[in-house]
Amino acid sequence: MSMISNPLQLNNGKIVQSKKEWFKKRRPELLDFFTTQVYGQMPDKPANMRFVITEDNNSVFNGLATRKQIKVLFEGTETGQQMSILLYTPNDIKSAPIFLGLNFNGNQAVSDDKNIAITTDWVNSKTKGVINNKATCSTRGIASKQWPLEMILKNGYGVATIYAGDIAPDFKEGYKTGVQTLYPELMNRPDNLSTMGAWAWGLSRAMDYLETDKDVDDKKVIVMGTSRMGKAALWAGATDNRFGMVISNESGAGGAKLYHHVYEEDIAQICRVFPHWFSTNFQQFNHKDTTIPFDQHLMMALIAPRPLLVASAKEGYVCDPYGEFLGAVAVSPVYDFLGKKPLPIQLLPKENEPAFGTLGYYMRSGKHDIFPYDWEQFIAFANLNWNKK
Ligand code: GCU
C-alpha cells in the first residue's frame, strides 16, 4: 500500500506541535476539506424546529424501560419535513447513556410492537413487506435481530433510532423530497449537501432533542451505525462534538476503510452506484484511490480525542475489514498525541479478539451484519471508556 498522509502534518507541511495547534489549526483544516470535497456543506439547526412527543410509555418490556416516540418537525409544522425518533431508556437509571443510530427500513422494523408508528416515507422496495416504496405492517420487527433492545437496556444503556429515509431517502433523486428541499442554496453546487451529510445532520437534530430529555445523559450519547449508517455515524461524530463516543460497524468505503487499500469498493464504484452519498466534488477523485493526498483516517481524526470503535466482520468483504483496520491504525497517532489511549495493536488481530484503547478495533467472525456479539462489544467498549462496572 502506498504511503498515506500523516494526520499531524499541517497543509503547510509543518508538524503539529501542541494540542492547541491541533484544535486551532489542523482540525479546522480537516473539517474544511471533508466538508468541501467529500460530504458537502451542512445547514445549521432550523430556526423553527420543534419536538412533539407522541408516545411516552414507562412500562415497556415488563417495566424495564420507557419508550418514547418523538416527532422532530424541522419546519415547525405537522405537514412539513420531519423525522421520528424511537427512544428507549432503562427505568432503573436516572439519566442513561444511550446508543443513537439510523435504521434502514423504518422504526417499525426495529421491534414488532404495534404501537410503533410505521414510516410513511419512501422505503426501498427490495425490502420484504414494502409495496410501491411504502412500508406495510409486515415490516414490523424485521430488523429486531439487529436491535437487541432488551439486552442493551439490561446493560444500562438506552437506544434511540431514526429511519434514515425520514431525513433523506436513499436513492439518487432522493434529494428532491428529503430535507435537502429546505436548503436550495446548498444544492446545485460542487460542495452540495449530500445524503450522507443530510443523515449526519439529522443525527445532530436528534441530539438537539436528546439534550432536552431528562431520561438521557446528553454527555453520553454514542452515535453508531452499520454499513452506510456507519459512514453517516462517523461523519456525524466528526462534525458534532456533542457526541461523546462514535462506533462504526462495518462502515467500509466512505467510512473507516482506507481507499489506499484497494479491495472491493473503490471511489469510482461507490460514486457510480451511490452518487448521492457524496457531494459532486468527490467525483474528482474517481480512479485515484492510491494517489489521493488524503484518506478516511483524516475524517476519523476529527472524532479524537473522543472514544472511537471501529468494528469489522471477517466476511464483510464489501467493507474491506483489513482496510478498516488500517484506517484505525492510521488515526491512532492522533489519539496518542492528544494524550489518549491509542490502538493497542499494530497487526490485524484474530477474529473475535477485541483490542480497546480510547480507540478500539475488532473483527467479528461471520458475515456483513450486526449481531448481539457486536452489541456486547459496543457495551464493553463504552463501559471501559466510561469506567462503568
Ligand atoms: C453497499 C455499498 C456499501 C454499503 C453497503 C450497506 O454494499 O456498496 O458501501 O456500506 O451497501 O450499507 O450495507
What local confidence, expressed as pLDDT, does residue 290 receive? 96
What ranges in 26-184 are assigned the alpha helix state H? 27-34, 149-154, 164-167
What local confidence, expressed as pLDDT, does residue 381 receive? 98
Atom 13 in ligand 1: which residue has the minimum CA distance?
Answer: 227
In the predicted model, is pLDDT for residue 2 greater than 60?
no
Active-site residue among 111, 227, 248, 279?
A: 227
What are residue 364's phi and psi, to 5 degrees? -75, 150
Pocket-testing residue among 227, 264, 267, ligand 1, by greatest number of atoms within 8 A of Cβ: 227
According to DSSP, the residues that pair with 159 across neighbouring strands are: 88, 99
Per-residue pLDDT, averaged over 332-342, amounts to 98
Cα 187 to Cα 184: distance, rounded to the nearest angstrom? 5
What local confidence, expressed as pLDDT, does residue 155 receive? 98
Q: Total domain count for the chain? A: 1
Does residue 261 lie within any of the structural domains? yes
Does residue 85 lie within any of the structural domains? no
Q: Following DSSP, what letter does each residue of 312-343 receive, concatenated? A: EEEE-GGG-HHHHHHHHHHHHHHHHHTTS---
Does residue 136 lie within any of the structural domains? no
Per-residue pLDDT, averaged over 283-292, amounts to 97
Q: For the chain, what is the radius of gyration of the CA atoms?
A: 20
User: DSSP strand E in 74-157: where?
Assistant: 82-90, 96-103, 130-131, 134-135
Write out the residue range of the structural domain in which residue 210 sits: 19-48+90-103+150-158+166-385
Cα 325 to Cα 269: distance, rounded to the nearest angstrom? 21
Closest CA to 338 of 363, 309, 308: 308
Atom 12 in ligand 1: which residue has the minimum CA distance?
Answer: 228
Cα 347 to Cα 33: distance, rounded to the nearest angstrom? 29
Average pLDDT over the chain, rounded to whole?
A: 97
In the predicted model, is pLDDT for residue 125 greater than 70?
yes
Does residue 364 lie within any of the structural domains? yes
Pick 1 or 214 by higher pLDDT.
214
What local confidence, expressed as pLDDT, does residue 362 receive? 98
CATH code of residue 197 = 3.40.50.1820
Does residue 283 lie within any of the structural domains? yes
Report the amino acid identity of residue 247.
I
Does residue 135 lie within any of the structural domains? no
What local confidence, expressed as pLDDT, does residue 3 receive? 75
**pTM beyond 0.90:** yes
Q: Residue 388 — pLDDT band, cuts 50, 70, 90?
A: confident
Give pLDDT tens digits for 214-267. 999 999 999 999 999 999 999 999 999 999 999 999 999 999 999 999 999 999
Does residue 75 lie within any of the structural domains? no
Measured from CB, residues less than 6 Å from any atom of ligand 1 are 227-228, 252-253, 265, 270, 318-319
What local confidence, expressed as pLDDT, does residue 114 receive? 97
Does residue 111 lie within any of the structural domains? no
- Determine contact, residues 87/160, Cβ cutoff 8 Å: yes
Q: Residue 385 — pLDDT band, cuts 50, 70, 90?
A: very high
Active site residue 365: no
